[in-house]
Amino acid sequence: MSEKPNDGVVGELLEEGQSIWLDYIRRDMLENGELSELVAEGVRGVTSNPSIFEAAIADTELYDDEIRRIVGGDGADDANSIYEALAIADITQACDVLRPVYDASGGTDGFVSFEVSPLLAHDTAATIDEARRLWAAVDRPNLMIKVPATTEGVPAIEELIADGINVNVTLIFSLDAYRQVVDAYISGLERCERPANVASVASFFVSRVDSEVDKRLESIGTDEALGLRGRIAIANSRLAYTIYEEKFSSSRWEPLAKRGAKPQRLLWASTSTKNPDYNDVMYIEELIGDNTVNTVPPNTLEAFKDHGKVSGSAIDSEIDQAAADMALLAATGVDIDDVTDVLISEGVNKFADAFDQLLQAIESKRASVA
């Protein structure tokens, strides 16, 4: 285990202004000290989602004893209540492990993200209510509530930020959606009594963009189209960073900065490489940038620690090439707006399906021990 967070490539990323968060949580890593070891090596946050909890609870026996205790007690024992009890316990413990990072960073890092039910992705009022309830249940300043960047999610983001609740905005694929998210964050801060106490990240998804775009480019099949494979997700992300720089250096941002407000950092999500022909750490190496976060699953983190390279900031390089790639994509006949519309719809549905499967698995376990 590293003695200090500056050791190794994870520490090198931090020196470039980028934090690595772990896109994974499971009960055993909290109990056996694995998360504490990763934090000592430089990991500075944890993200979770319904798919992660579905795999952790449904596919292992780690939670079976606690399910038995819940079912045997006097509390509500429906599947959703059991899930929340299990997840809140994990999230709270993870927040406590990361609290020293939160304190040492002045509330910039050390967060653990907990998602509202994906079944509420198209219900603004219900999303706000559930986010407030989960925030109160965990009761840790280094919690982030995850809210999707759907049409209905954006006003919920503003309201929660105004409440002083930390928000991780998830499922951002398009530049237009990202602009709306930043505007909602700033609007929320303008209504917030203590904006200096609020933190937020905008989770901009990466590899899924290449997966969908590459499929369309291969169906076109021209040399120009095939030459764009594996380039659009990074180009899209680099252009998002230019929006970040613009929004958080604007005249509108200046009075909030004077009140101690923090910029909403871009978080690169979905950064495991889906195509085996690509460099397995390309979505880390190509997206290094100041005041950003990259959340990675365990296998991608291990790959980066093994053979990843940090060669300075990459996110703000080749911006002209990024714009040219996006223009060439349009010229080939691939509509990036249609791509991102498909991806957010699929993303919401995938998380909802995982959540349904999770509840079904819990119900099965509940019935077996009742």
Q: Which CATH architecture has domain 8-369?
A: Alpha-Beta Barrel (3.20)
Count of C-beta atoms within a 10 Å radius of residue 250: 11
Q: What is the pTM of this model?
A: 0.95
Contacts of 216 (CB under 8 A, 6+ apart): 334, 339
Taking the alpha carbons at both ends of the chain, their separation in whole angstroms is 43
Task: Quote the pLDDT of residue 317.
Answer: 86
Task: Flag residues of the chain having pLDDT under 70.
Answer: 1-7, 74-76, 370
Q: What element of type H or E holds 281? A: none
- H or E, element range at 344: helix 336-369
CA separation for the pair 184, 157 (Å, rounded): 6
pLDDT, one tens digit per residue, over 140-175 is 999 999 999 999 999 999 999 999 999 999 999 999
pLDDT for position 5: 45
**Choice among 146, 247, 262, 365 that is catalytic:** 146
Name residue 296's beta-bridge partners.
22
Torsions phi, psi for 21 (to 5 deg):
-115, 155
Predicted confidence at residue 2, as pLDDT, reads 35
Burial 83-96 (b: 16+ CB within 10 A, else e): bbbbbeebbbbbbe
Token couple for 344: 């957010």
350 is catalytic: no
**Domain residue limits, the chain:** 8-369
The pLDDT of residue 1: 32
